[in-house]
Amino acid sequence: MATGEPRPPGRGAGRRVFDTGRGLAEWGHKYVLAPRYRRSEQLHLVSGDGTRLAAARLAGPPDARATVVLVHGFVNWSRTPRVYAFAHLLARHFCVVIPDLRGHGQSGGTCTLCRDEPLDVAAAVAAAPSNLPVVTIGMSLGGASVLLHAARFGGVAGTVAISAPAWWGQYERSGSARVQRVIASPIRRTMLSVFTRTRILANCEGVPDASALVGAIAPAFVVVAHDPDDTYFGPDHAERIYEWAQEPKELWWYANAGHGTDLLTPQLAHRLVETINTRVGA
């Protein structure tokens, strides 16, 4: 090939086009075409600091023994397809409340990486029927939020932390390093807001130290679910949370399961239904 002639697209270029197309399709499915809750299921909440929150509530069966508050992770929302599907799986057995955390989806405010999100969990718990015990379930950012909420506010029968960070500031895995790069860049924060409905503070300090708090969740139960190969938060995060918690507690490992919403399978829903019904009936 003569110098200066354009190179024909090779396998590398084709792969990039394929990846771009797949990424656009996933983005459209997750945000633009995300499933919707019925109008009668939609809620409008206000957190303790006045932040306006969007949420949904699924009634569950008449004989439900508990209400579940299901809390999404970073750059997700209540209408993320996997969150939406998991909420409906749980709603076969429980009343389910699904909030958009501050700075996400249709809620107001800005994401604070767990500094203020426990207030959002408290608002969602307050929207649960008063005659049923409440169990909170959160993924990633939502997992840390439900732990801190249970420790600070109480009022729940148990909490389940899926792929939750125990701390912030050590970006030893590719996922957490990528999140930090986004937070540190004004341009990337703007793109995040435009394309994922996620607005985040420029000076986020990250997940507060929970080492002295998680033990206060007892006598409510704690379940920690984690993939040891999680690309955001390694197994030491799950191990520390489990160590900090008091009995009753459980640690569930899911090898090769992924992070956050990746774990929201029918199998996990079935296990949670059994665990929650056993715990709230104990």
Pick the CATH number of 40-280 from 3.30.1540.10, 3.40.50.2300, 3.40.50.300, 3.40.50.1820: 3.40.50.1820
pLDDT tops 50 at residue 1: no
Each domain of the chain, given as residue ranges in start order, spans 40-280
CA–CA dist 60, 53 (Å, integer): 22
Average pLDDT of the chain is: 89
Percent pLDDT > 90 in the chain is: 70
Per-residue pLDDT of 19-30, as tens digits, reads 445 555 676 667
Residues in the chain: 282
Task: State mean pLDDT over 215-227.
Answer: 98
251: tokens are: 């640690």
Per-residue pLDDT of 112-130, as tens digits, reads 988 999 999 999 999 999 8
67: tokens are: 């209400």
CA–CA dist 6, 267 (Å, integer): 51
81-90 helix and 266-280 helix, angle to the nearest 10 degrees: 40
Half-sphere exposure of 166 (CA within 13 A, CB side): 18
Shortest CA distance to 57 belongs to which of 38, 72, 34, 75?
38
- Contact between 76 and 99 under an 8 Å Cβ cutoff? The reply is no
pLDDT tops 60 at residue 8: no
Query: What does the H/E/C string look like for 228-282?
Result: CCCCCCCHHHHHHHHHHCCCCEEEEECCCCCCHHHHCCHHHHHHHHHHHHHHHCC
240: tokens are: 């520390």
Per-residue pLDDT of 72-95, as tens digits, reads 999 999 999 999 999 999 999 999
pLDDT tops 50 at residue 16: no
Per-residue pLDDT of 148-192, as tens digits, reads 999 999 999 999 999 999 987 666 777 777 877 887 788 888 888
